[in-house]
Structure 1
Amino acid sequence: MEEIKAIIFDLGGVIIDLDQESEIRYFVEQGIPDYENIFSQKNMTNFFKEQEVGDISEPEFYEGFRKLTNVRLSDEKIEEGWNKILTDFLSERIMYLEELSKRYPIYLFSNTNTIHTREFEKRCLGQFGRPLSSYFRELFYSQELGLRKPEREAFIKVIELAGLDVKTTVFIDDNRDNIEGAISVGLQTMHLTSPTTILDLKF
């Protein structure tokens, strides 16, 4: 690996763990037994992708969810279940990022949506008394960019906005497709796979 001058982190599966089983279990209990086949991250629908690039509003998402599942859950119930995939931040990982940010400019690039963003930003503030943005030079969310990983254009946009040199920037993600997208634009990469966590990374 060449010299590193900047680091871009993914969020879910890298900084926070994801609990898709809790999300699936919640919606099954709400009367959607085939939820995993309809709407899970594993079987991502175009509707889900549209949400992640900001092409649909939250009211449109809730109504679309009801149409796809044919179950008339309230907006509040859908939001509660949708956020079940998110786990709390682990203090040791946040401390790691805080220390790392003293030596490198670090960035966050996440495929996400307004519902999840509101929830994990609220959790970070509640757990540590600081906004998530305070740990990073800049946050890049797919729904704000209008682009998502692993699209090549998404990486190009982030690189341009952050003013980074791909040759001296490393991108860290748990998704192989996203790693391939980063490689396609010349970024250095680290594919984080279980049981490895960011605490095992040496910079």
Structure 2
Amino acid sequence: MKVKNIIFDLGGVILDLGFERMVKRFEQLGIEKFAEYFTPQKQVDFFEDLELGLITPEIFYDQFRRETKSELSNEVIEETWNLILKDFEKDRMDLLTDLSAKFSLYLFSNTNAIHAKCFEKRCLEQTGKPLNSYFQSLYYSHELHLRKPTVESFQEVLRRSNLKSSETLFIDDNAANIAGAKEAGLQTYHLETPKMLTEIDF
């Protein structure tokens, strides 16, 4: 089936993640074994609640302090939490611009209000263009109140943009998300390390 639309994951596909540097910094701030609270694959309840938009960033910060038995300020938690987000690479953003001439592009990310505020600001600063200018629509888990890899999350993205699953390619670096997309009827591409987005033959 001919691909007319491409849905991209953000972290690990368009934007590299600095998980290790974030963990290291939290541990330097006195939170031992931070990875027991959060990894890209699994997180404790209040991280997931933030990603589903069920709690505000302010409630998240309070729960973070309570669970980690720390007294870090909201600002320090935010700054350190955002260390997971690396920079926007010019070659990948140029690729998106080129692809938009042939396909309708969409973004679907499991993310949260704190990270979204950071990476949207950074995209504008680093590329001179807002993130939403590269895509037809941006879909964030905390706004949808649904997250990958549930079939329902993919169905909602398709519904909102009036896309046919059979004509839509989904690209993600997470195998579970790829499986969910396949179950929803999408064509898929599993971008596995060390392959880069710019190395895919579109």
Question: What is the TM-score of this pair, normalised by structure 1?
Answer: 0.97
Aligned residue in 1 for 2:33: 34
- Which contiguous aligned blocks of 4+ residues in structure 1 show a shift greater than 6 angstroms? none
Aligned-pair identity (%): 48
Q: Which secondary structure does the structure 2 equivalent of 1:87 belong to?
A: strand
1:155 to 2:154 alignment: yes
Amino acid of the structure 1 residue aligned with 2:156: K
Q: 1: CA distance between counterparts of 2:29 and 2:41?
A: 20
- What is the deviation of 1:115? 0.4
Alignment deviations for residues 23-77 of structure 1 (CA, whole Å, 9 cap, x no partner) = 1011001001221123333441122111111000011000010011000100000
Q: 2: CA distance between counterparts of 1:38 and 1:187?
A: 32
Amino acid of the structure 1 residue aligned with 2:113: T
Aligned residue in 2 for 1:75: 74
Q: 2: CA distance between counterparts of 1:170 and 1:36?
A: 32
Counting matched residue pairs gives: 202
Q: 2: CA distance between counterparts of 1:117 and 1:163?
A: 24
| Structure 2 residues not aligned, in runs of 5+ | none
Q: Which secondary structure does the structure 1 equivalent of 2:87 belong to?
A: coil
Q: 2: CA distance between counterparts of 1:83 and 1:96?
A: 25
The alpha-carbon distance between structure 1 residues 43 and 139, as it changes in their structure 2 partners (threshold 3 A), is closer
Question: What is the TM-score of this pair, normalised by structure 2?
Answer: 0.98
Q: 2: CA distance between counterparts of 1:102 and 1:75?
A: 42
Structure with the higher fraction of residues in strand conformation: 2
Q: 2: CA distance between counterparts of 1:191 and 1:113?
A: 23
Aligned residue in 1 for 2:174: 175
- What is the deviation of 1:135? 0.4
Q: 1: CA distance between counterparts of 2:136 and 2:76?
A: 34
